[in-house]
Amino acid sequence: MATSVDAPVNAAARLEYDPLNPVVKHEPYPYYTELRANEPVKWLPSLQAYGVARYDDVKALLSDGRLFSSSMFWPALLGEYDPVPEVPPMISMDPPGHVHLRKLANKAFVPAKIKALMERTREVAHELIDDIIAKHGTEGEIDWTWDFCSLYPVTVIAQVLGVPLARRAEFKVWVDNLLSAANRAAYDEERLAVIRESSDKVRRFFEDLYDERAANLQDDLISDFIQAEIGGERMTRLEVIQMSILLLIGGVETTTNLLGTTLIELHRHPETYARVRKDPSLIPALLEEVLRYNPPVQIIFRHTMADTELGGVHIPAGSTVMPLLASANRDETKFANPEVFDIDRKIEVPLMSFGQGPHFCLGSYLSRMEAKSALEIAFERFEVLEPVSDEVEWLDSYFARGPHHLKVRFKVR
Ligand code: HEM
């Protein structure tokens, strides 16, 4: 059902897309529309990179891991704050090395393994809601972002990995600090020292955990990684540690943001909210539409290995290219009325929200399952769960999208 549209693009005043402009970060969608129409491959001086806005171009470049290399992903994101600089994580590897690690890691993420986790994710959601009630009573106001959305995925992934629950808040702080390294050029020494400390702590933590598990295997992911074998080859100690850190980084903020944005879209589309409340079987369709319409990862990065051409634009070897995933999801040649939030739409092509091609998100089943369980339980336990304001303070990021804070009124049943 079509319920509302974003503000239309002002055709008279051409919008200049600069991902670092605060106005763009707050509401990038009109700029993506303009790019798709007029400048689908655009040089972005502020980031010294080419932005790619149309679905077909995004898909083509993500499918070609040899020409559009991932090798600069981690260095661009973390730079000298990479906790394990000796080995790249698979998200920053190209074929054939990537394929080998991916096969090993895949074993831990097959749908049957994720299904087995479902009961535990439901318990985590109940426990967090119990904590909210213990702290705030049966009605009042909470920060949905911190009190639920942030703690939930980090608790799930900590458990999957085999990390003691008592350390989950520390974990969340490490991940946030590591991710903030993307803005390191703008930080002073004090802030950089905090990132350094988190980077060192996360490494030490996983070194110790690896050694404990290697001596005494358990039923957790680190133990699975230690034992996983393909063609007689296993992951090295540092590869297991780097993989664990990648999962921590990849699995925490993304799912947190998906849950935060979902509540915002429900608030903006009250008819949809009423329908989903009445019929929780609509939750998966709701999540797919949030993933399309306002995805947690807006942009990723590639690096050209040779001169090439995309959308009629010449791109020299050694350039940074940024597929604008969130723009591809609103490409009018692939999605009917793309600016309309519509949980009944028939999605006929793959969304770009989890990427595409060899690096397609390893956690897509897990995050969909986690988000579904969380919403089912939140709607079951809260009679009221409603943002108090129409204004949203989005994260100050051009590639991650989700609310920084989201004050909501709640009342338990
Ligand atoms: C809504 C939630 C999520 C979103 C939107 C998301 C998005 C993405 C995207 C766009 C990529 C592709 C990166 C690229 O091509 O360079 C990716 C890769 C990846 N994601 Fe996710 N992700 C989510 C949840 C998770 C979770 C829960 C985990 C793990 C626990 C995870 C682990 C990974 C890993 C390991 C990769 C790298 C795969 C590879 O290099 O082969 N993600 N994700």
**Residue from 179, 354, 365, 373 to probe ligand 1 pocket by mutation (most atoms less than 8 Å from CB):** 354
What is the three-class DSSP state of 27? coil
Which residues' Cβ are closer than 6 Å to ligand 1? 70, 73, 90-91, 102, 157, 246-247, 250-251, 254-255, 258, 295-297, 300, 353-355, 359, 361-363, 366-367
* Euclidean distance between CA atoms 226 and 229, whole angstroms: 9
Predicted pLDDT of residue 179: 86
Interval 191-222: pLDDT, tens: 999 999 999 999 999 999 999 999 999 988 89
CA-based angle 359:174:23, to the nearest 5?
70
**Residue from 74, 254, 356 to probe ligand 1 pocket by mutation (most atoms less than 8 Å from CB):** 254
What separation in angstroms does the CA of 405 have from each of 147, 149, 200, 258? 10, 10, 28, 13
Backbone φ and ψ of 162, nearest 5° = 105, 30
Whose Cα sits closest to atom 36 in ligand 1?
361
Domains and CATH numbers, the chain: 22-412 (1.10.630.10)
Which atom, in ligand 1's list, is nearest to the CA of 352?
10
Flag whether pLDDT at 54 surpasses 90.
Answer: yes
Long-range contacts of 224-233 (CB under 8 A, 24+ apart): 224/107, 224/108, 225/104, 225/105, 225/108, 228/104, 228/105, 228/107, 228/108, 229/104, 230/100, 230/103, 230/104, 233/100
Q: In angstroms, what is the span from residue 360 Cα to ligand 1's centroid?
A: 7
Predicted pLDDT of residue 210: 96
CA-based angle 295:376:247, to the nearest 5?
50
Which atom, in ligand 1's list, is nearest to the CA of 160?
30
Q: In angstroms, what is the span from residue 272 Cα to ligand 1's centroid?
A: 28
Among left, alpha and beta (phi > 0; psi -120 to 50; other), residue 375 is: alpha
Give the range among 183-197, 221-235, 389-403 with minimum mean pLDDT. 221-235
Predicted pLDDT of residue 182: 83
Whose Cα sits closest to atom 19 in ligand 1?
361
Which atom, in ligand 1's list, is nearest to the CA of 93?
40
Flag whether pLDDT at 171 surpasses 50.
Answer: yes
**Interacting residues of 144 by C-beta distance below 8 A, sequence separation 6+:** 260, 263, 385, 387, 403, 406, 407, 408
Q: In angstroms, what is the span from residue 297 Cα to ligand 1's centroid?
A: 9
Q: In angstroms, what is the span from residue 255 Cα to ligand 1's centroid?
A: 10
Mean pLDDT of 62-91: 94
Flag whether pLDDT at 13 surpasses 70.
Answer: no
**Interacting residues of 6 by C-beta distance below 8 A, sequence separation 6+:** 27, 29, 30, 339
